[in-house]
Amino acid sequence: MRTKRLRRRATAVVVRDRKVLLVKDRGQSHYSLPGGGIRKREPVVAAASRELYEELGLDAIKVTRLTECDFEGSLNQHNVCLIEANGEPALMQLAVSGFIWWDMKEDIPILPHVMSILGRIGPI
The C-alpha atoms of residue 34 and residue 66 are separated, in whole angstroms, by 15
Q: Dump pLDDT digits (tens) for 27-76.
A: 999 999 999 999 999 999 999 999 999 999 999 999 999 999 999 998 99
Q: What's the confidence (pLDDT) of residue 40?
A: 95
Please list the helix, strand and coil fractions of the chain in percent, rounded to the nearest 5, in that order.
Answer: 20, 40, 40
CB 83 within 8 A of CB 13: yes
Please, which pLDDT band fits residue 2 given cuts at 50, 70 and 90?
A: low
Q: Dump pLDDT digits (tens) for 4-35.
A: 789 999 999 999 999 999 999 999 999 999 99
CA-angle at 111, arms to 93 and 88, nearest 5°: 40
β-strand partners of 22? 100
The C-alpha atoms of residue 87 and residue 103 are separated, in whole angstroms, by 19
- DSSP for 33-52, please give it: -SEEEPPTT--HHHHHHHHH
Q: Which is nearest to 54 in space by CA: 28, 80, 23?
A: 23
Give the domains, in start order, of the chain with CATH numbers.
Answer: 7-121 (3.90.79.10)
For residue 51, give the DSSP letter: H
